[in-house]
Structure 1
Amino acid sequence: MYLYTPDEIDRERAHHQAVIQGADELDVKRIGNLGELAFEQFCREYLPVEMWEWENEAAIRRCNSESFSGHDFDVFGYRIDVKTSRDVSAFRPAKILENDPDDDIIVMVWHRDNEDALILLGWERTETLKSKVRTQGAYSGEKPEKLAHLAARPMNELQDLGPNTAHMNQKPQNPFTPGDRVVKAEDNDPSVAVVVEVLPPEQDINLYGQTMDGEAVCVAFPNSLDDGPGNWREIHPAKLASYCDDQNIKLYTYKHTNLKYPDNPFTPGDYVIKPDYDDPDLAVVLQVADTGDDDRNLTIAFCKHLEKEFGEQMDISPADLHSRCDEAEIKSYSYDHGDLSFKHQY
């Protein structure tokens, strides 16, 4: 058995994709998505990457509706469906066949009540399940009252279905995650960008007619995001790929080794606080300047002053915030970027 612990990005994507899918039972669909994420991690750790494919990978990564497919994964040419449940009685052979009679293999995943951990219990061929149901139906003795058969072969035996190939661990090597601020490495005047998608290692990316050797990261620049219809800073990073896809916001693809974290990650429009205060007021970055002699390279205004002048539903582009504040004579303050921290509003 294997334990899978979803992170915040996984949970948000699993839920939002279920919403976009329009599932009648939102909880069931979200749990099903988490089960697929769990099995994808198992495949990535233990199976040769060229011999498995996740049907719903792009849909869940971008929180789009899934195209119809009768199964979730193709592994070694077998059609695999992932069945996720809190009720282990759902893994009885007859119960499984009620819902999934046509796939080649069923993978069984159990989840905790609060969905913070899932356990891959095992897998079984559908033909074996049918045989067990037939055998049980022909059994003439009394059935045990307190012991029910649950079908499951150990997860690591799934490797035996494939050819005798070398073990291949395809866990992503890049350190970035959606929402991270990055700049292009070895750029003398780099622009801060926002990580939107971290593509899986096996994704073949073509840049300028050449295949990229390494993992790819898709970023968007804040000025493009600011031109969108919503305040992207109030959208969870897990949903940024969905937002950019829906709004046709241009993404730029980089090899992850060509990116790095910036010394100063802030851009106009960011929500910030001064964390060394006991009860810091929320502020917004108005301007980012080159570091001066006093190192005060961020100009900010406090949200309570902005709301008093412009209202709670302030509709001002981050690029215009500084000039509008000057016109309205709203007091601004200068800080070194190291003195401030993000205060995310999602």
Structure 2
Amino acid sequence: MIGLGKRFILVLLDLQGVYLYTPDGIDRKRAHHQAVKQEADDVPTKRRGNLGELAFEQFCREYLPVEMWEWKNEQPLRKCNPESYAAYDFEVFGYEVDVKTSRDVSAFRPSHLLDQDPDDDIIVMVWHRDNEDGLILLGWERVETLESKVTTQESYSGTEPEKLDHLSSRPMNELMDLGPNTAHMNQKPENPFSPGDRVVKAADSDASVAVVVEVLPPETEVGIYGQSMDGEAVRVAFPSTLDEGPGDWRDIDAALLSSYCDDQDLKLYTYKHTNLDFAENPFVPGDRVVNANHDDPDEAVVVSRTDSSSEKAVTVVYATQLEDDQIPPAALSTHAEKHQLKQYSYNVDVLEGA
């Protein structure tokens, strides 16, 4: 399930069980990129479908026992890979659940839903706003109930008011009643990290800076050196490894780093989230920075770093001094010395990424 370190909102709108989900930037990027890599015939529709699944996943995470539901598209969406064909999106309490997402509420009419998915057990209905920045979980219904509704409508001899055409659905909170009477299990992640964060191993004075590539759901069982990890897991890559890839990983959106690393088969390392800290000195050779204290700062390139208990600083050369922008980051310091480029040292407190 996507979302470790993510910032999402799942708000109870009223007592009838209608919920609002607000996707963050990572969710929106991944939902779109997977639709592109899926080579979907209609990318916007596929993207919205992915967002609808994310909305329902967050509902499940917040309100249903985590061991009693499964999202079929979790790993493919996290890595932006094409999803394997599955007849349904989720399995909840043993029921096959399909999520339908639309801006047009008429798409949720019983007959229309049955035409699309007559073989699932349950259909969840998700309405999205025009700019896709908010999705509302309207409700759910058993397919057998939809079949009964359609049959009743077909045999009805009176005139059904067009403006009151019935949308058969049950409140979202009633989905909990399908399962056993278990203790409430809120499985929102405690992990503070998000893709793109620069981190170091905790309590290690000589730790190398790493880049968070993906965060795993709290319930995911991860083994390290043959031992099961007790806690939420974070997967990171080291800049030296990322530099070996075919593209400039710094230009890749943080949401797509896991997709990039998966495509290029770059080595990742897994840590328990409590064993990591945010890097006090996040900059590494090859990073482009500017001095935040300057009114019109010139872009500089980090060539080396100092990361001691007494000093957090980097040495840079200004980008205009580098005629060749293809110099490997590991060779920048040697290149600057060899060509006698003017170098400047700055405390990291006055720098920000360019």
TM-score tier after normalising by the smaller chain length? over 0.9
Aligned counterpart, 2:170: 153
Give the conservation status (yes or no) of the 8 Å contact 2:65–2:182.
yes
Aligned counterpart, 1:305: 321
Aligned counterpart, 2:11: none
Task: Give 1:206 shift.
Answer: 1.0
User: Among the aligned pairs, what percent are the same residue?
Assistant: 66
Q: Which amino acid aligns with 2:86?
A: S
Q: How does 1:8-47 map to 2 (within 5 A)?
A: 8-47=25-64
Q: Which moved more, 1:129-138 or 1:318-327?
A: 318-327
Give the conservation status (yes or no) of the 8 Å contact 2:280–2:312.
no
Task: Give 1:274 shift.
Answer: 1.4
Task: Give 1:207 shift.
Answer: 1.3
Distance 1:272 1:292 in 2: 22
User: Structure 2, unaligned stretches of length 5 or more?
Assistant: 1-17
Distance 1:336 1:292 in 2: 13
Q: Which amino acid aligns with 2:320?
A: K
Q: How does 1:287-326 map to 2 (within 5 A)?
A: 287-291=304-308, 295=311, 297-306=313-322, 309-310=323-324, 314-326=325-337
Q: 1:203 aligns with which of 215, 220, 231?
A: 220
Aligned counterpart, 2:294: 277
2:230 maps to 1:226? no
Distance 2:136 2:148 in 1: 26
User: Structure 1, unaligned stretches of length 5 or more?
Assistant: none
**Over aligned residue pairs, what C-alpha RMSD do you find?**
1.4
Q: 1:114 aligns with which of 131, 134, 143?
A: 131
Aligned counterpart, 1:332: 343
Aligned counterpart, 2:122: 105
Aligned counterpart, 1:258: 275
Q: Which amino acid aligns with 1:299?
A: T
Q: Which amino acid aligns with 2:332?
A: L
Task: Give 1:240 shift.
Answer: 0.6
CA shift digits 1:82-110 (9 cap, x unpaired): 10011111111111111111111000101
Distance 2:151 2:309 in 1: 80
Give the conservation status (yes or no) of the 8 Å contact 1:296–1:334.
no
CA shift digits 1:38-80 (9 cap, x unpaired): 0000000000000000000000000001001011000000000
Q: Which amino acid aligns with 2:93?
A: F
State the aligned residue count.
337
Q: 2:198 aligns with which of 160, 181, 204?
A: 181
Aligned counterpart, 1:68: 85
Distance 1:134 1:142 in 2: 15
Aligned counterpart, 2:352: 341
Distance 2:38 2:49 in 1: 12
Distance 1:116 1:290 in 2: 40
Give the direction of change, closer, same or farther, for the CA distance of 1:296–1:61 in structure 2 (3 Å limit). closer
Distance 1:332 1:45 in 2: 52
Task: Give 1:212 shift.
Answer: 0.8
Task: Give 1:279 shift.
Answer: 2.6
Give the conservation status (yes or no) of the 8 Å contact 1:285–1:299.
yes
Task: Give 1:292 shift.
Answer: 9.6
Q: Normalised by the size of structure 2, how large is the TM-score?
A: 0.92
2:255 maps to 1:244? no
Distance 1:315 1:197 in 2: 27
Give the conservation status (yes or no) of the 8 Å contact 1:272–1:283.
yes
2:148 maps to 1:131? yes
Distance 1:226 1:203 in 2: 29
Q: 1:142 aligns with which of 159, 162, 169?
A: 159
SS of the equivalent of 1:297 reads strand
2:90 maps to 1:79? no
Q: Normalised by the size of structure 1, how large is the TM-score?
A: 0.94
Q: Which amino acid aligns with 2:260?
A: Y
